[in-house]
Structure 1
Amino acid sequence: MRKATIKRTTKETDVEVAIDLDGTGAATIATGIGFLDHMLDLLARHARIDMVVKANGDLHVDYHHTTEDVGIALGQAMKQALGSMAGINRYASLYMPMDETLTRVAIDISGRPTLVFKAEFPRDKIGEFDTELVREWFNAFAGNAGITLHVETLYGENSHHIAESCFKGLARALRVAVAIDPRNAGEVPSTKGQLGG
């Protein structure tokens, strides 16, 4: 079973995450940040990954620590649930439209963390959520999941749509990349015989 549970407690946040890579997209999300909850709910739904995320953070300071630490914990859970990565597709790429916005996402579950994130937001905030935190979440997630992730918004005018296209694009790419390909016969998809080194 490709499942994982991660608990992360610091002086700034208390985060608990549980995922099932072979789920149906069921999600229970409670971070105290409405916009982040919305993004994580659609991430679970479109990736078809069951996800529970509970976070208590220093929201009286701002949303940065909670957003980043949720990304860290989810990334760690993803890495743990993938295990040896035997049999997975490994790669995926797609274009994600969201109304007037178009974002390209490409992923390699390589064990080598890299993020290339290119998105410009017309506004500094989406509601009370700082748009710069979108990149912070992606950086924390990719780094701790050990994945190579490229996210580029080619065009867009609405900050909410831009952020949503990034998260939905990641979700759909993950859905393909973590899926088991029966033709791989349980082999790690690398000529090295291993991923991550």
Structure 2
Amino acid sequence: MNDIKEMYDLVVKAHENLYDYWLKNILFTWQWWIGVLLTILPWAIWIKYRRKESTTRLLFAGTVTIIITYFLDLIGTILGLWYYKWKVIPLIPTYMPWDYTLFPVSIMFFLQVKPNASKYTKSFIFSIMSVGFEKLFVWLDFYKEVRWRSLYSFPIYIVIYLIVDCVVRQNYYKELKE
């Protein structure tokens, strides 16, 4: 392989093969439907139970979470540390329910529940729950660890929560109310 075009052609071919596989083997399976549900249902629950006066702040927290988790998930997927077997959308290399729903909605709920509780305690609980769900998804065969173990994620989840908490509590927002 002497030029970049040949490498991109290989990537395009791999995506075409993945898309064909997805159409024939993943689309409309029970695993795919679980992914669709996990993408939509948490947002619907959040819309119903969010603190209306904190919507903008919480959506900002969710957006920051999506950016961070998608970026880290993309790096891990590209480096071959893990992969997802039952994607909702085949052209997104990460698992859409994780990055676009489960992490941001979870963090938004954590931020609005007991807003004056210790952010370190909340980050620790968030991390334990996230690693637990990661292990569940490994067990359900949705997610395959290649050169990664769920426990490696534990400190990363703590840092993600603390970053989002710090960003969302900047002075240009009103304080969260209990």
Q: State the structure with more CA Rg.
A: 2
More helix by share: 2
- TM normalised by structure 2 equals 0.31
More strand by share: 1
